[in-house]
């Protein structure tokens, strides 16, 4: 019974959420679009002609934003373990980023081109066990960072979701070792109760 009440409360909050309503109005697939829009407008990381890799892309709101910004001269390659409906100017790979086959497929889609920007809003299925969820979340962030350090153009940028807690400081240290500047952002569309932050690495060394 308690779970049902919690579920109803969440649904009520979701339906009444400003960013949920705005996403429906403006045609974005989820409220997460506004997290990327805010960061991109503030830091100028999305421009015409860029090659962008979107990790953990489904349902596709970040890919929508990226595709619109890079235009037809750019390219967005999106990957997720879940299915994602097609989007203009977005190539989609369904696969588990934790597995080598998915990373190999991603590299094949890049066709020897190096991305200018890697964005990752990946998060595991939450179990409710805080320590476990945080550890699995940071593991995804670490995999995204490793991919970025290997594949990004020099001078390229990397935006990743990370959760505060154990291993966060070490992850931040590792990002600072790989990029000229690292900025921490908490977009307005991030719910106050969430301990998620977005780390933006500018200028791959």
The fraction of the chain above a pLDDT of 70, given in percent, is 91
- Does 10 appear as a known binding residue? no
166 by DSSP, 3-state: which? coil
Q: 161 catalytic, yes or no?
A: yes
Q: Is the pLDDT of residue 187 over 70?
A: yes
User: Would the annotation count 178 as a binding residue?
Assistant: no
Distances, alpha carbon 108 to alpha carbons 46, 77, 79, 102, 145, in Å: 23, 11, 13, 10, 19
pTM: 0.90
Calculate the dihedral angle through the C-alpha atoms of 167, 82, 95, 154, rounding to the nearest 10 degrees: -60
60 labeled binding residue: yes
Catalytic residue among 35, 69, 75, 161: 161
What pLDDT, on a 0 to 100 scale, did the predictor assign at position 133?
79
- Dist CA 156 CA 112 (whole Å): 16
Higher pLDDT, 190 or 149: 149
Range ranked top by mean pLDDT from 54-68, 163-177, 189-203: 54-68
Residue-level pLDDT at 191: 82
pLDDT at 28: 96
* 192 annotated binding-site participant: no
Question: Which tokens is 191 given?
Answer: 């719910």
Domain ranges of the chain: 30-204
Q: Which CATH architecture has domain 30-204?
A: 3-Layer(aba) Sandwich (3.40)
pLDDT digits (tens, 9 = 90+) for 145-164: 999 999 999 999 999 999 88
């Amino acid at each position: 019974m308690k779970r049902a009440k919690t579920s109803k409360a969440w649904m009520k909050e979701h339906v009444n959420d400003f960013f949920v309503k705005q996403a429906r109005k403006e045609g974005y697939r989820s409220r997460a679009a506004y997290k990327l829009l805010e960061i991109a407008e503030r830091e100028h990381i999305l421009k015409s002609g860029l090659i962008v890799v979107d990790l953990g892309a489904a349902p596709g709101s970040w890919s929508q934003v990226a595709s619109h910004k890079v235009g037809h001269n750019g390219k967005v390659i999106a990957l997720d373990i879940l299915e994602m409906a097609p989007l203009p100017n977005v190539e989609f790979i369904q696969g588990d980023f934790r597995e080598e086959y998915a990373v190999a497929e991603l590299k094949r889609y890049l066709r020897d081109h190096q991305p200018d920007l890697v964005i990752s809003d990946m998060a595991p299925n939450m179990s409710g066990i805080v320590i476990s969820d945080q550890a699995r979340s940071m593991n995804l962030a670490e995999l995204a960072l490793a991919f970025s350090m290997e594949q990004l153009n020099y001078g390229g940028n990397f935006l990743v979701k990370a959760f505060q807690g154990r291993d966060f400081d070490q992850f931040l240290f590792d990002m600072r070792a790989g990029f000229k500047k690292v900025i921490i952002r908490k977009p307005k569309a991030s719910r106050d109760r969430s301990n998620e932050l977005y780390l933006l690495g500018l200028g791959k060394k």
